[in-house]
Structure 1
Amino acid sequence: MNTTATKFNYVDYLWDEEEAGRLGDDQVSLFLYRSNILGADLRITNYGGGNTSCKTIERDPLTDEEVEVMWIKGSGGDIGTLTRSGIAGIYTERLRNLKKVYGGLQDEDRMVGLFNHAIYDLDSKAPSIDTPLHGLLPFKHIDHLHPDAVIAVAAAQDSEAVTKEIWGNTMGWVPWQRPGFDLGLQLERCLAENPGIRGIILGSHGLFTWGDTSYECYLNSLEVIEMASAYIEKKVKQQGKVFGGEKVKSLAPADRRTKAAQLIPLLRGLASSENRMVGHFTDSDTVLQFTNSYDLARLAPMGTSCPDHFLRTKIQPLVLELQTQEDLSDPQAVLDKLRPAFAEYRTGYQQYYDVHKRDNSPAVRDPNPVIIIYPGVGMFSFAKNKQTARVASEFYVNAINVMRGAEAITSYTSLPRQEAFDIEYWLLEEAKLQRMPKEKPLSRKVALVTGAGGGIGKAIADKLVEEGAVVVLSDIAEERLKEAHATYGSDTATYAVCDVTDATSVAAAFDTAALEFGGVDIVVHSAGLAISKPLEETTPKDWDILQNVLVKGQFTLAQEAVRVMRAQGLGGDFIPIASKNGLVSGPNNVAYGTAKAAQQHMARLLAAELGKDGIRVNTVNPDGVIIGSKIWEGDWAEGRAKAYGITVDELPAHYAKRNLLNEIIRPDDIADGVFAFTVLDKSTGNILNVDGGMANAFVR
């Protein structure tokens, strides 16, 4: 590792010379490497924010002459995860020739379409709006970043003077301008007027830095950000307090999480008045310092500054007027307080749209808040999926850091509302939204699956994730649960160790669902075990454990599921995994068959009671799931083999041959049955046999 690392206190120096050395002189690979390590530090730029590029000499396939090509992050990409497939290759000279046809600010959107005429690499990602900002500058490697410290300088009152104070004559400065061709021309002009500068501050926006090599560019970026950070921290110390000081005391960490878990399903329901949303909660020190402050009331309504921030967070958050000691145990009473606040926010957003819309503006979007602040407790965010909700939260944390820095320097300034609107409702942004892939059937839904450490439960979780849901895996066996959880991405699943026979443990699992994803929409009770014995050999212990896990567990899960689903007001699905044995009378099966029958009838009773809440209760009945099912690892296989007078090894063939379709039933088949019920939104009180066709188990 380079010893330069010791120079930095406010950014992470991540350049590994050994790793970079393996890339040799491949400038594109080095540019991608630089991009990835810059994107790994959220203080430097957030997910999807900023842009990076490099220029190389390539052989033109049409003329066989050497030409300069610019490689740049494509539209919608993220520098932290950027790969070669996510970049665009552009003829630099052709891009610069577009100056000859540029017709001014009213011509910006047309210019984006013309970028395609400058494409060199036919496998290019669509060029982004930032393409001319890089292409009109002469440097081989360029970083356009959104560091919190630099945006604080850019958003501070007297930003240009502050830039001069920090960097002297080594940095240029251009006033706020929406990204596009004209901003590229301004950067070109700034460099011409200030030769020898190391970078440019974009007013209210971000940072441009450059270098002759990827490493020089990286180092330049870090040094500029470090200087801004050090300047701000010195100002903070001189100021003595941040955001006017603490107005509200934070609850203890455990109490904050308890409050958040109680509240977030209610918030989710209100925030989902037009489109179902997935939630995220954070109570970091940075968040609490802002949300608990005297200046919250002044700064929050001002909105964010950097365009990348408010595109994901909306123009301003909703600040709740609930007190930290507010009793949240009565959901209806809390809703009576929350509904007016949400209604006022929606009305305000509609007015924002009506006042600033243009003749060709896209239709108004969902008027619900994305960021919701509860002083003393923390911050909630809501979006179409977990990743987007988490990223929105991270962007607002960036915005908090910007406000903190700008207030310490002089005072914070936000974008004028019209400028903000023109970014949020930019036709190019709308076109990007329209190009997004169609959402999957279970997108925006949260599932909790018991027994998900393996077997049928894991197969069900896999299927729900495949169809777009986020999932809370629960199981009593923690090691098995961790192994199952490791097969998913962090924004797709979480896990909760849960004993379904313990009401406290079940409640904690639902709290996990609330804090991680905002609530729950689908609950699948797949936890179970099987005991096969003749009546005289069945012990009270056998009876009790089957009743507790299968029946009492289902009852306890239903109580918690209904509590959360009613708070959300979005309906839901409750799906027990029962068995053919609940319908068919077989030998040596009195305890297991009785418990499964109880599960089935409880589901019918629940369906009758919960229909008014839009909560559907349906049962999936497997049979003969030998391959991949956990219950066959114990004594159950021996018991069933004994009942049928065959060996354990003969069981798979026995079960496959006895159904009408002569099919082997696998965990994936049961998962398909669960998925079917989740999309049958007008079905409740039903039983679906997934058994290959067992005539003696026909329901009717």
Structure 2
Amino acid sequence: MTVRITDFKYVSYLWDEAKAAELAGDEVALLIYRSNLLGADLRLTNYGGGNTSCKAMARHPLTGKETEVMWVKGSGGDLGTLKQSGLAALYVDELQSLKNVYRGIDHEDEMVELFNHCIYDLNSKAPSIDTPLHGFLPFKHIDHLHPDAAIAIAAAKDGKAITAELFNGSIGWVDWQKPGFDLGLQLRQCLDENPGIRGIMLGSHGLFTWGDTAYESYINTLEVVERCSLYLADHYGKDAPVFGGQKIESLEAEARKAQAAALAPVLRGLCSSKKHMVGHFTDDARVLEFINSNDLSRLAPMGTSCPDHFLRTKISPLVLQLDPAEDLSDVAAIKSKLIPEFEAYRAMYTAYYESCKHANSPAIRDTNPVIIIYPGVGMFSFSKDKQTARVAAEFYINAINVMKGAEAVSSYTSLPRQEAFNIEYWLLEEAKLQRMPKPKALSGKIALITGSAGGIGKAIAKKFIDEGAVVVVNDNDGNRLAEADHWFNTTYNADSYVTAPLDVTSAAQIQSAFDIAALSFGGIDIVVNCAGLSISKPIAEHTEKDWDLLYDVLVKGQFFVTQAGVAVMRKQNIGGDVVNIVSKNALVSGPNNAGYGSAKAAQLHLSRLNAAELGEDRIRVNVVNPDAVISDSKIWEGAWAEGRAKAYGITVAELPAFYAKRTLLNEVILPEDIANACFAVTGGLLNKSTGNVLNVDGGVAIAFVR
């Protein structure tokens, strides 16, 4: 069977002849182009997975002679966004000569350091463990990918026989073995024993395909994956229902979201017993088909097969024994059910480590689950940051696809526990983890800053993201929120923040914002009450409407946002921070300011009261008192600025200088100054401080607390 370009149904043909023609003659540029196309289709490879290579002639910097060099994706990185800086470049002859010093499979890890003696481009990326797998094959262009359709066959009990029959012997087979030098030798042996094959299936692992040009390699890869996909599609539900048929029904979409939002903070707290984790939730149709099935109880404990999968998802998921429609309102009762399940999972993982560890194995890592399944509702994942949690979920969906395919054509087989352990606790993987940058001060933290589409709130959100947090950006002004969304999207990656409409006078919108935080990130750690407004009028001109608006937004808004945030924090039981942006006016009497000043005073004392009550929950409540932060602030638009200028007998344009001159430091206060203060009280150095007031006003002596 020959699959033509127009026949592709299960993969995307993205090759642009015109674009490729522009790169003609530059094999490395064509490698990058091909890699980006492959990485753009998640049916071909998953995020950060797989590697590609090309071999071409280059001038030796010392001899000046033409010599063969291999460019291969280096350690880490993602094919979809790969650039030349992400490639390792090695002399092919020198890489081949490493065979002369290879001491056998028990010593193959030492070969990784020897890769450095083969480097052609000294500024290139560090070579990955898969380097010899490309280097020992003679082809000019090679793709090593982890397509779900191929791994489904590779992980099937009869995978070798299916591969031989499906491809009429044109695809070789190499049994499972941990990636490394010896696997590269086995690939070459397979080729030598099967001359003329177009690729090799790696048992339980993935696929190698190749070509003499970038295009030939690309089209070969697509054709092989397409054929695997067609084969699986022909078998789904043919002999038996998928995953043994459905055992339970899912809740309706809105009910699933409501259950997930209610449960996520409880799960996050239990998963954060070692360090703060960030969550992700999905109720993707593929997930629901699996988690609602009769075969869930059999397949989930087996774990995943491909190393790329279980390195990110742990050996197996935790399947919750909760009814989809369980009443989650009694948090204590739910925890009494969940805590034994978590303890059992931790014990299982510890037993797995103890039974498989070697004398030189790294210390046991966090024993909490990464993937948590709630039948009828969806799947949660928890990790050090949002991106890692989201990618873990994506990889488990890959594993679901693999199990579905393998079960359709044969029966699914996972890696033996010892083999899985040897990958998870591989000393080379540990070294990679140790080389990763240290976490930032707010890594693993989730923040909601009211009024964060502009001014002080936006500056705080930016500072928190810069320091590693994820943020719920919100505002009561839809246009302003849309503008902020665009700004954050172009400044940060999509995993750094989420948006929510939030009018702090609306109980429904307050609850919705915290539900969004729970669904997007798992819960909340930091609440910053920043939303505000100002009305400056003499006593005679103040109206009841003015008074109610000030107190509804500043006082009631602060209280009810804090109340909702505290409810989430208590579910998590890992402490938290409430920071209230109040004002110098809470302490200082000024003209034409009765409503605003008294509301600010109420905010300040409310903060003290909350600090006194929430200490036993390890929830700190602190105040930042700014003054005259004019830049990008809605408060200073229109009547307020005019009112303050009139009160002081100056023009609006003179206000910034006026406020600066009356301070001890003669400084103009900027939104960034307030953001720095908020970081100071939440960044870890003041974890034993609560009930404090931090002035950021340039020094206004009459506003000193003591």
TM bracket, shorter-chain basis? over 0.9
- Aligned ranges for residues 6-45 of structure 1 at < 5 Å? 6-45=6-45
Aligned equivalents of 1:497, 1:312: Cα separation in 2: 33
Instruction: Determine the structure 2 residue equivalent to 1:101.
Output: 101
Instruction: Determine the structure 2 residue equivalent to 1:315.
Output: 315
Contact conserved, 1:463 with 1:675, CA < 8 A, in 2?
yes
Aligned equivalents of 1:332, 1:382: Cα separation in 2: 22
Instruction: Determine the structure 2 residue equivalent to 1:335.
Output: 335
Instruction: Determine the structure 2 residue equivalent to 1:497.
Output: 501
Gaps of 5+ in 2: none
- Report Cα offsets for 1:60-82 as digits up to 9, x if no partner: 00110001111111111211111
Q: CA deviation at 1:628?
A: 2.5
Instruction: Determine the structure 1 residue equivalent to 2:618.
Output: 614
Instruction: Determine the structure 2 residue equivalent to 1:529.
Output: 533
Aligned equivalents of 1:695, 1:350: Cα separation in 2: 58
Instruction: Determine the structure 2 residue equivalent to 1:539.
Output: 543
Instruction: Determine the structure 2 residue equivalent to 1:396.
Output: 396
Contact conserved, 1:628 with 1:666, CA < 8 A, in 2?
no
User: Residue 168 of structure 1 aligns to a residue in which SS?
Assistant: coil
Aligned equivalents of 1:249, 1:568: Cα separation in 2: 29
Does 1:305 find its partner at 2:309? no
Contact conserved, 1:578 with 1:622, CA < 8 A, in 2?
yes
Aligned residues between the structures: 698
Aligned equivalents of 1:310, 1:334: Cα separation in 2: 29
**Percent identity of equivalent pairs:** 67
Contact conserved, 1:346 with 1:368, CA < 8 A, in 2?
yes
Change (3 A) 1:546 1:22: farther
- Report Cα offsets for 1:454-506 as digits up to 9, x if no partner: 11100000000011100010111122212222323111000100111011110
Aligned equivalents of 1:479, 1:166: Cα separation in 2: 56
Aligned equivalents of 1:85, 1:520: Cα separation in 2: 37
Q: CA deviation at 1:5?
A: 4.7
Aligned equivalents of 1:344, 1:549: Cα separation in 2: 46
Aligned equivalents of 1:200, 1:521: Cα separation in 2: 48
- Aligned ranges for residues 188-227 of structure 1 at < 5 Å? 188-227=188-227
Moved more, 319-328 or 22-31: 22-31
User: Residue 217 of structure 2 aligns to a residue in which SS?
Assistant: helix
Aligned equivalents of 2:523, 2:168: Cα separation in 1: 52
* Residue 687 (structure 1) aligned to one of 681, 693, 698: 693
Contact conserved, 1:528 with 1:549, CA < 8 A, in 2?
yes
User: Residue 236 of structure 2 aligns to a residue in which SS?
Assistant: helix
User: Residue 600 of structure 1 aligns to a residue in which SS?
Assistant: helix
Aligned equivalents of 1:117, 1:357: Cα separation in 2: 32
Aligned equivalents of 1:684, 1:18: Cα separation in 2: 63
Aligned equivalents of 1:340, 1:5: Cα separation in 2: 54
What letter is aligned with 1:699? V
Instruction: Determine the structure 1 residue equivalent to 2:553.
Output: 549
Aligned equivalents of 2:519, 2:19: Cα separation in 1: 38
Instruction: Determine the structure 2 residue equivalent to 1:374.
Output: 374
Does 1:639 find its partner at 2:634? no
User: Residue 618 of structure 1 aligns to a residue in which SS?
Assistant: strand
Contact conserved, 1:496 with 1:509, CA < 8 A, in 2?
yes
What letter is aligned with 1:693? G
Does 1:602 find its partner at 2:606? yes
User: Residue 617 of structure 1 aligns to a residue in which SS?
Assistant: strand
Q: CA deviation at 1:239?
A: 2.8
Q: CA deviation at 1:656?
A: 1.2
- Report Cα offsets for 1:382-404 as digits up to 9, x if no partner: 00000000000000000000000
- Report Cα offsets for 1:300-332 as digits up to 9, x if no partner: 000100011000000000000000121001111
Moved more, 35-44 or 636-645: 35-44
User: Residue 208 of structure 1 aligns to a residue in which SS?
Assistant: strand
Aligned equivalents of 1:465, 1:137: Cα separation in 2: 45
- Report Cα offsets for 1:310-359 as digits up to 9, x if no partner: 00000000000000121001111100000000000000000000001011
- Aligned ranges for residues 224-303 of structure 1 at < 5 Å? 224-303=224-303
User: Residue 220 of structure 1 aligns to a residue in which SS?
Assistant: helix
User: Residue 160 of structure 1 aligns to a residue in which SS?
Assistant: helix
Aligned equivalents of 2:193, 2:597: Cα separation in 1: 85
Moved more, 199-208 or 69-78: 69-78
What letter is aligned with 1:579? S
What letter is aligned with 1:481? L
Aligned equivalents of 2:285, 2:632: Cα separation in 1: 45
Q: CA deviation at 1:21?
A: 3.0
Instruction: Determine the structure 2 residue equivalent to 1:454.
Output: 454
Q: CA deviation at 1:195?
A: 1.1
What letter is aligned with 2:357? K
Q: CA deviation at 1:4?
A: 5.8
Aligned equivalents of 1:477, 1:4: Cα separation in 2: 52
Instruction: Determine the structure 1 residue equivalent to 2:143.
Output: 143
Instruction: Determine the structure 1 residue equivalent to 2:479.
Output: 479
Instruction: Determine the structure 1 residue equivalent to 2:523.
Output: 519
Instruction: Determine the structure 2 residue equivalent to 1:566.
Output: 570
- Report Cα offsets for 1:498-539 as digits up to 9, x if no partner: 111011110000000000000000011111111111111111
Aligned equivalents of 1:442, 1:452: Cα separation in 2: 18
What letter is aligned with 1:197? I
- Aligned ranges for residues 164-203 of structure 1 at < 5 Å? 164-203=164-203
Aligned equivalents of 1:526, 1:23: Cα separation in 2: 52
Aligned equivalents of 1:592, 1:15: Cα separation in 2: 63
Q: CA deviation at 1:630?
A: 2.3
Question: If the length of structure 1 is used for normalisation, what is the TM-score?
Answer: 0.99
Instruction: Determine the structure 2 residue equivalent to 1:158.
Output: 158
Q: CA deviation at 1:170?
A: 1.0
User: Residue 559 of structure 1 aligns to a residue in which SS?
Assistant: helix
- Report Cα offsets for 1:428-473 as digits up to 9, x if no partner: 0000000000110000000011101111100000000011100010
Q: CA deviation at 1:237?
A: 4.1
Change (3 A) 1:587 1:369: same
What letter is aligned with 1:531? I
User: Residue 233 of structure 1 aligns to a residue in which SS?
Assistant: helix
Instruction: Determine the structure 2 residue equivalent to 1:697.
Output: 703
What letter is aligned with 2:567? R
Instruction: Determine the structure 1 residue equivalent to 2:79.
Output: 79
User: Residue 345 of structure 1 aligns to a residue in which SS?
Assistant: helix
User: Residue 494 of structure 2 aligns to a residue in which SS?
Assistant: coil
Change (3 A) 1:141 1:531: same
Q: CA deviation at 1:591?
A: 0.7
Q: CA deviation at 1:629?
A: 2.1
User: Residue 107 of structure 1 aligns to a residue in which SS?
Assistant: helix
Aligned equivalents of 1:331, 1:569: Cα separation in 2: 11
User: Residue 691 of structure 2 aligns to a residue in which SS?
Assistant: coil
Change (3 A) 1:568 1:136: same
Aligned equivalents of 1:201, 1:510: Cα separation in 2: 47
Q: List structure 1 runs of 4+ shifted beyond 3 angstroms.
A: none
User: Residue 536 of structure 1 aligns to a residue in which SS?
Assistant: helix
Question: If the length of structure 2 is used for normalisation, what is the TM-score?
Answer: 0.98
Change (3 A) 1:4 1:534: farther
Aligned equivalents of 1:367, 1:540: Cα separation in 2: 57
Instruction: Determine the structure 2 residue equivalent to 1:628.
Output: 632
Aligned equivalents of 2:37, 2:376: Cα separation in 1: 34
What letter is aligned with 2:693? I
Change (3 A) 1:15 1:479: farther
Instruction: Determine the structure 2 residue equivalent to 1:128.
Output: 128
Aligned equivalents of 2:184, 2:638: Cα separation in 1: 69
Q: CA deviation at 1:240?
A: 5.0
Instruction: Determine the structure 2 residue equivalent to 1:326.
Output: 326
* Residue 657 (structure 1) aligned to one of 647, 657, 661: 661
Aligned equivalents of 1:652, 1:240: Cα separation in 2: 75
User: Residue 54 of structure 1 aligns to a residue in which SS?
Assistant: strand
Moved more, 506-515 or 159-168: 159-168
